[in-house]
Amino acid sequence: MKRLTLLAALCAATSAQAAQDTAGLVRFVACPVYRDTDAGRKSGCWLADDRENGKRWDVTESPYKPDWNFAVLVEGRPSANAAQPCGAPALDPVRTSRLDIPCTRHMIPAEGFPGRRYTLPRRNIAPLSVARAVPPGPYAERVFPVYFEFDKDFLVYQYDDWLIDNAVTWIKAAKPKKLIVTGFAATAPETVSGVTIAERPEAAQERAETIAETMRRLVPGTAVETKWEVAAQPTDEPEADGLPWQSQRRAEIRAVF
Amino acid sequence: MHFLPQKAFALPIAALVLALSVGARGGDVPDRWWAPGEGRVLPAALDYDNDHGTLRTLTVGGPLKTAGHPFFEPLGKDGRACVTCHQPSDAMSLSVKSARRQWDRTDGKDPLFAAYDGSNCPTLPQDRRESHSLLLDRGLIRVERPWPTKSFNGNPVTPDFTIEVVRDPNGCNSGPAYGPAAGKISVYRRPRPVANMKYLLAVGFPYDPKQGYALPLDPDDGKPQSGNLMADNRAGNLRIQMEDAAATHLQMLKALTPAQRKTLQDFELRVYSAMQTSKAGGALDSMGARGGPVRLRDSQPGALGSIGEPVWSEFKAWESIPKDEAAKLTPEQLAHRQSIARGAKVFREKMFLITDTAGINSRIGFGNPVRNSCVFCHNMSQMGNDVAPGQVDLGTTTLPFADPWDDLPLFKVTCTGRPHPHYGKVIYTYDPGFALTSGKCADVGKITLQSMRGLSARAPYFSNGLAKDLRGVVDYYERRYSIGYTEQEKQDLVNLMSAL
């Protein structure tokens, strides 16, 4: 399982087309359905139905999972893995952003589906007690992106902490003169499943400030400057997993010398 | 009962009362209550019996002379010391049983019952028992917090909620001097144990995944803070905590001196407390088990059980006690040991759906609901507190999950920005908890997870004493999450917790 996700991520990373290749990408808004599978801790399934074509997807692999009381914005790519442990084809990579649209909570039984046994995701950080390997030089200007849930500036567990940990390890070794943190927000309205969605322009500034404060706490003494931009465009950075919408919702840490 | 020493008759009345009450084991040992300024010597290892067995408290580098020691001397006008509410017999917390015993022994005159926070409200007639009912019935101390919250971690804060008082049964949330309109809020909380502190101060990872932020830095030493002190995390380090305690609980008019602060902190980091012997099961560090405070003293703090040593694997060896070993035990001891070992497994392995619990189901990304066990939140090896900052809303202080208590104040919180992810715009709570510190509506009802050691010595449980005994703890979780524990599993959990 772990190897598979790793492979998938590698594929996304190596194929330069990935981010641009929007064919096959799925995006819709739905009330999530929780399937109560039990293969141990964190093994429940999340399902969501695309109302425009009547397809049900397994969206469980999102780093930020749904809340059964709210609609989610689903963004993903059909998984290369045909297995259906949750009783529907899986999206992987996938993102599920919580929207402020109330839903009637719906839980269905496992109906014989096993769910997925929890495995530590690839993006997880070691405890502070474990020394980080010093990234080799030479060091030159470099940009580290950090990604967010729709309209939020919250650092996602086992995603952003990992991205930031890598950035900070490098910054500590490279000792840049200054960090320029730019927050981006996808403010251009789009209609998804009949719902018009757009990120608040303030989200760009919030993201910049959250990451700037994070840098001040993790690399104290380094100068940090903030900027923000609305109408964010997609990038093809690998850690957005080839999902253009995820790549828009970001902050960039630029280390300058 | 033992004979009074001859010379006791020559002592003044107060000393006589003291001499009359014998230690838990009987005999001429000093009383189990540590009164301020007695000048006793704190031994390197000190045992006290309770309903479930014997608690042991270790003082590293002990014995310690307490004469002149700021933890033990009355420093303020009320004649109280830190030890008044942090008693060695009660795992350095205060059990309701000890509070009642002190009321009875001193006819309510003990400094513990000082008007400021040892009564339901200073405005009440102090000589009546009912004016101290929250302390005597629920083990609660009044905690006064400023309102509105103005800053958090050194940054200015404007709260995104308003607070109104729905009912004020004690008078400390209304009138000219008290309540939100007067710039303060009174909540009622259990003293938290001042023992095993290195675990509560340990930092496992540099992030607070519940707040979605890097850990705040300590204003004194610039290092990341654990975020695991106080129910509402209002103190990020021991210095801030002790200054708060001195000014409030001790009613000290002067600030603690740097020397006093140093002595206090040094002491707090030297005390370890845990159950050493189970009444029904025998020595908790025998036959391969590794209970008791020695191991707490000697282990590295801050380890996450899920990637290292599983939480409560102290009792792993008792999962299968070999026949020849079993033969050395009474059938009752054997059964109790097996039950403790099963309890540890239930704690880690019995899964249930955790629902609508801010800090876990929002905003961290685990999803709502998420399937997991007790160890999901109580995840630090050896201690059972949270490795990450432990602010979680179990519902213990907030409706509809909290029990309907008419003797606590009830607040109506209205979110002025985004609604609370689970309660919505309006929340009714006895104690907003962490929200009083962070100023965020999303944090209403969040209470910092405590240590799970020495539980037998310090009932009742939860920050507002909602569970009167260990069975009450299990029953609360069963109600809250419809877990479906069998009777056997409930008993196993109780036996496990009684042995910590």
Residue A112 above 70 pLDDT? Answer: yes
> What Rg do the C-alpha atoms of chain B give, in angstroms?
22
pLDDT digits (tens, 9 = 90+) for B386-428: 999 999 999 999 999 999 999 999 999 999 999 999 999 999 9
Residue where the block lists tokens 């009613």? B251
pLDDT at A4 over 90: no
Chain B residues whose beta carbon lies within 8 Å of the beta carbon of residue A128: 203-206, 224
A7 interface with B at CB cutoff 8 Å: no
Residue B185 in this model has a pLDDT that exceeds 60: yes
At B431-440, the pLDDT tens digits run 999 999 999 9
Helix (H) or strand (E) holding A12: helix A2-14
Would you call B351 and A34 a contact, using CB atoms and an 8 Å cutoff? no
Task: Determine which helix (DSSP H) or strand (DSSP E) holds B295, and give its type and residue range.
Answer: helix B293-298
pLDDT, tens digit, 9 for 90 and up, residues B81-125: 999 999 999 999 999 999 999 999 999 999 999 999 999 999 999
In this prediction the pTM is 0.93
Distance from CA of A68 to the nearest CA of B (A): 6
pLDDT tens, residue by residue, A115-134? 999 999 999 999 999 999 99
Residues in B 201-240 with any Cβ partner in A closer than 8 A? 203-207, 209, 212-217, 222, 224
pLDDT digits (tens, 9 = 90+) for B191-229: 999 999 999 999 999 999 999 999 999 999 999 999 999
- Distances from the Cα of B415 to the Cα of B121, B181, B391, angstroms: 28, 18, 19
Summarised one tens digit per residue, pLDDT across range B246-301 is 999 999 999 999 999 999 999 999 999 999 999 999 999 999 999 999 999 999 99
Do the Cβ atoms of A42 and B216 come within 8 Å? no
Q: With contacts defined as CB-CB under 8 Å, which chain A residues touch B310? A: none
Which DSSP helix (H) or strand (E) runs through A64?
none
> What three-state secondary structure class fits B317?
helix
Q: Which chain A residues contact residue B365 at CB under 8 A?
A: 63-65, 149, 156-159
Written as six digits, the tokens of A155 are 């650092």
Q: Which two tokens stand for residue B481?
A: 């999450």
Spatial contact of B423 and B444, defined as CB atoms under 8 Å apart: yes
User: What is the identity of the amino acid at B449?
Assistant: L
d(CA B178, CA B171): 8
Which two three-digit tokens encode residue B472?
């009450």
Say if residue B164's pLDDT is above 60: yes
- What number of other Cβ atoms are within 10 A of residue A122's Cβ? 14
Cα–Cα distances (Å) from A13 to A18, A236, A239, B71, B160, in that order, read: 8, 9, 8, 59, 41
Cα(B28)–Cα(A76) distance, integer angstroms:
74
Q: Residue B460: which of B115, B170, B136 has the closest Cα?
A: B136
> Would you say residue A10 has pLDDT above 50?
no
How far CA B385 is from CA of A247, B83, B226, B376, B436, in Å, comes to: 36, 23, 11, 10, 21
Minimal C-alpha gap between B312 and chain A (Å): 18
Count Cα atoms within 13 angstroms, Cβ side, for A94. 26
In A61-201, alpha helices (H): 160-174
The proportion of chain B whose per-residue pLDDT surpasses 90, expressed as a percent, equals 92
pLDDT in tens, A199-251: 999 999 999 999 999 999 999 999 999 999 999 999 999 999 999 999 999 99
Q: Is B21 exposed, middle or buried (0-12, 13-18, 19+ CB in 10 A)?
A: middle
Give the integer Cα–Cα distance in Å for A257 and B16: 76
Burial code of B101-138, b = ≥16 C-beta within 10 A, e = fewer? bbbebbebebbbbbbbbbbbbbebeeeeeebbbbbbbb
Whether A15 has a pLDDT exceeding 60, the answer reads no
3-state secondary structure of A202: helix
Q: Angle at CA A199, nearest 5°, toward A194 and A205?
A: 180
Q: Is B365's CB within 8 Å of A164's CB? A: no
* pLDDT confidence bin for B155, thresholds 50/70/90: confident
**A55 at the B interface (CB within 8 A)?**
no
Separation between Cα atoms, residue B281 and residue B328, nearest integer Å: 12
Model pLDDT, residue B371: 98
Is residue B18's pLDDT more than 50? no
Q: Chain B residues with CB inside 8 Å of A158's CB?
A: 365
Tokens linked to B220 = 């004194």
Q: What is the pLDDT of residue A21?
A: 59
Sign of CA dihedral B339, B343, B346, B349: negative
pLDDT given at position B13 = 35
pLDDT in tens, B305-338: 998 899 999 999 999 999 999 999 999 999 999 9
**pLDDT of the residue at B172:** 98
pLDDT of A23 reads: 78
Which residue intervals of B86-186 are DSSP H helices? 96-106, 115-118, 133-138
Task: Report ipTM for this prediction.
Answer: 0.90
**B26 has pLDDT over 70:** no
Main-chain dihedrals φ then ψ at residue B76, nearest 5 degrees? -115, -170
pLDDT of residue B154: 84
Q: Within chain B, what is the greatest distance between any pair of CA atoms?
A: 71
